[in-house]
Amino acid sequence: MILPGATVGVLGGGQLGRMFAVTAQRMGYRVVVLDPDPDSPAGRIADVHLAADYADRQALDELARQCAAVTVEFENVPASSLEFLARVRPVRPGVAAVAIAQDRVREKRFLAECGLAVVPFSVVLDSDGLSEALVHLGGSAVLKRARLGYDGKGQARVRSLAEALAAFESFGSEPCVLEKLTVFQKEISVVLARGADGATAVYPVIENRHRGGILDTSLIPARTPSAVAQAAVDAANRIAGVLDYVGVLAVEFFVSNGELLVNEIAPRPHNSGHVTLDACITSQFEQQVRALCGLPLGDPALLCPAAMTNLLGDLWIPHAPRWDAILNEPRAKLHLYGKRAARSGRKMGHFTCLGDTLDDARARALRVRRVVTRKPMALWRQRLAGEAAHK
């Protein structure tokens, strides 16, 4: 067991790294963050920030020298860096799980091997393959880069070969998967933690609504029949077991005509799991610290129903959101990630509304959301003028 007072490391200095760092520090750990951005959200609050590339051998050496164990904030760190660290320190989750999650082709094959249903897909390596795959999938599909996609980036909906070829080219003609455009009634996620001893702690299933490929709102517990929720939990447990996983794992699903399809996995705390910060006895970040340090896992039980809404950079344009809308709601908890530059689609923060019932939490979140996203007339005029100018 790595006890409080020790130093732990995280690769990646975004909001997930920051919430990990805040939690670890609350529990008495020192935190070292490796992130090339000198102004990263986690780097700024870490005890030590190594501002270097994820493949920088000297920085990795230093990370290993200072830290008793290392985790990741996101899956897109070079697997070779994790292998390098794993030779001298516990790296949790392990390299194998991260390597699968960072490559959609490997991920799909792995999920199929686990006996789980996924959206029909084809691997695309070149334009001929793309054309065959599009015919095979029926003409309407989603092209996704195999690597380095997130928040809907690196993917495009395509309805014709011309659109598909243009998207493929815009992704640098890198390997992709082409997925059938799926009609689903609901998206849900399972977030769980698994310790080195194989013990697991699973959160209640979370219901997610995306807009433009980016998570907008998460509800806990999901409004879904218990059989569907149980099947999702079973699937997530199976994935964690097969990977002999240690850490926090998230699994995203589509619920399509009562059938459960696995969309993707994340080898880390998940945006939908941010509800656990305020709504559960133990948050997903505390579980990440506990699993990393070999401590017993905390109780994932729900304290009360909750609704979480992301705050994207768009809300900062042209000026900061109406904070009063969030602060006036006595059951809203505001979380901001300390990012200086607001860009469209960039996750700047989130707020969570707690409720006596899920409907109560939802109603509070919707009320707040309506005011927060209200744009001043001047901005709409500007936008309309911009659109008119493009025509």
Q: Which spans of this chain sit near Mg ion (rule: CB under 5 A)? A: 252
What's the gap between Cα 161 and its chain centre? 30
Which partner from the list Mg ion, ligand ADP, none does 186 bind, CB cut-off 5 to 8 Å by kind? Answer: none
Which residues of the chain form contacts with ligand ADP (CB under 6 A)? 119, 142, 149-152, 179, 181-182, 187, 210, 213, 252, 263-264
Q: Is 207 in contact with 164 (CB distance < 8 Å)?
A: no
The minimum distance between CB 170 and ligand ADP, in angstroms, equals 16
Nearer of residues 59 and 265 to ligand ADP, judged by Cβ:
265
221-229 long-range contacts, CB within 8 A, separation 24+: 221/302, 221/305, 221/358, 222/186, 222/188, 223/186, 223/358, 224/186, 224/188, 224/255, 228/188, 228/255, 228/258, 228/260, 229/188, 229/204, 229/205
149 binds, among ligand ADP, Mg ion, none (CB under 5 to 8 A by kind): ligand ADP
Least distance (Å) from ligand ADP to the CB of residue 103?
A: 12
Q: How far is the CB of 154 from ligand ADP (least distance, A)?
A: 7
Rounded distance, CA 10 to CA 385, Å?
45
CB of 261 to Mg ion, least distance (A): 13
Picked from ligand ADP, Mg ion, none, the partner binding residue 142 (CB below 5 to 8 A depending on kind) is ligand ADP
| Cβ closest to Mg ion, residue 207 vs residue 252 | 252
Hey, which residues does 349 pair with through a beta bridge?
311, 336
Nearer to ligand ADP, 8 or 215 (CB): 215
B/e letters for 97-132, b = 16+ CB within 10 Å, e = fewer, are bbbbbbbbbebbebbeeeebebbebbebeeeebbee
- CB nearer to ligand ADP: give 307 or 354: 307
Query: Is the Cβ of residue 104 or residue 364 nearer to Mg ion in the bound state?
Result: 104
Q: How many CA atoms lie within 13 A of 150 on its CB side?
A: 12
**Measured from the CB of residue 225, what is the shortest distance to ligand ADP in angstroms?**
21
75 interface partner picked from Mg ion, ligand ADP, none, CB below 5 to 8 A per type: none
Shorter beta-carbon distance to ligand ADP: residue 24 or 176: 176
